[in-house]
Structure 1
């Protein structure tokens, strides 16, 4: 991770406890990402093993586990507090036995030859191009050749003429999620500090150089973009 971002501070127990409710009013955007994810991974074997990088509270696992009852999930996140919430959901919804929880960075886990991976709203916290590419490579290194991957991040070319308009629209969406005026002003400053300001073409080049086939952008909702790809 970048030295500008402290996982233990940003995603500690207090944040983890409220994370699921924080953006509940933006749930339709999450639904779109989950629908694309389901379509991209839907042809996997019945007993597929899925790497969930930066799993957080496990939202995508909750979606997939209900549809594919034999899939196995490796949830990886450096925040123990976030994984604890993910485990609680898995226990409550009856799929804990199909999950492995690893409180670590992806680069530190021993798993290999997994069938697919998802990384949702994770890599934008890596503001350096080298560390972001290394993160994508750590995912590729743990997959079988040809394994499908879905990646979604906050991403925009901040030099693009339409960036201010899309950013302001996004901030209005944040208002609907309960963000106050002070929070919106801070959010404007986050690109290039807390969130990486790499444009779409840069992110795609990073993924390809990390060991994936050229990614295809398949969705956009405000400042969130999603790509489908596979291990080369």
Structure 2
């Protein structure tokens, strides 16, 4: 879940990476829902499917998928070496490292193609420019076989909607469970458009279609997190 842009944000460096998985422990239920969707949607893939994990971070979704699909292989791509080190340690400890390859860098730099599916979980919202975000989705599409599914989840909301203010309050109340202070709440409000993209749902859907994917279907929402399933056109 590391941002795919350069440079890598400080939150994903060697000092913070080992504790990253625990920093949002209070919201792990949301993470588990994301992984459940990926597990369900990928259930019909070939038993030896190759899965591209874009912006893999610590590889949390791989730990779920590898357990339920013992023939799947995974290519974890992330610009943060320290985050991938954590992912590799998990894989070695849990016995599926031989089914993983780890690539420090960006999806656009990955030479492999023909993947059977991909995930991009809480990654593209770090790309605040529409052209850069579309290019990121295109880099994933270029590495998938035709018809291969992609599961995307990002912070995304329509700031012009009448209920935006209330939805933000709900989300900030959830983040308060992680220890966020009142000052942190105000800083988070200001982060939209700065650290996080402000593209609305229709914009994100259009970006994926422009990048070479079929019409995405929104399959979940948890606070400000929206998830879509799509497939390479």
In the other structure, the counterpart of 1:37 is 38
| Runs of 5+ unmatched residues, structure 2 | none
Match of 1:155 in 2: 156
- Corresponding residue for 2:206? 205
Per-residue CA deviation, residues 39-89 of structure 1 (Å, 9 max, x unaligned), is: 111100010000000000000000100000010000000000100000010
The answer for the alignment partner of 2:138 in structure 1 is 137
CA distance in 2, matches of 1:85, 1:97: 15
Number of residue pairs matched by the alignment: 231
- Look up the match of 2:230: 229
Distance 1:141 1:158 in 2: 31
1:117 matched residue in structure 2: 118
Task: Report if aligned partners of 2:4, 2:55 keep a CA contact under 8 Å in 1.
Answer: no
Q: 1:55-204 alignment to 2 at 5 Å?
A: 55-204=56-205
Residue-by-residue CA offset, 1:97-117 (whole Å, 9 max, x unaligned): 000000011001101001000
Q: CA deviation at 1:161?
A: 1.1
Q: Contact 1:214–1:229 (CA<8 Å) still a contact in 2?
A: yes
SS in 2 for 1:187: helix
CA-atom RMSD, angstroms?
Answer: 1.2
Q: Does the CA-based 8 Å contact 1:54-1:77 persist in structure 2? A: yes
The Cα offsets for residues 185-230 of structure 1, whole Å up to 9 and x where unpaired, read as 1111111100000000000000001000000001000000000000
Q: Partner of 1:84: helix, strand, or coil?
A: helix
**How far apart in 2 are the matches of 1:179 and 1:42?**
37
Residue segments in structure 1 that go unaligned for 5+ positions in a row? none
Label 1:2 to 1:159 Cα distance change in 2 as closer, same or farther (>3 A).
Answer: farther
CA distance in structure 2 between the partners assigned to 1:8 and 1:227 by the alignment: 25
Contact 1:37-1:150 at 8 Å conserved across structures: yes
Moved over 4 A (4+): none
Q: 1-side partners of 2:146 and 2:194: how far apart?
A: 34
Asked whether the equivalents of residues 2 and 128 of structure 1 are also in contact (C-alpha less than 8 Å), the reply is: no
TM superposition score normalised by structure 1: 0.97
TM-score by length of 2: 0.97
Q: Does the Cα contact within 8 Å between 1:2 and 1:131 map onto a contact in 2?
A: no
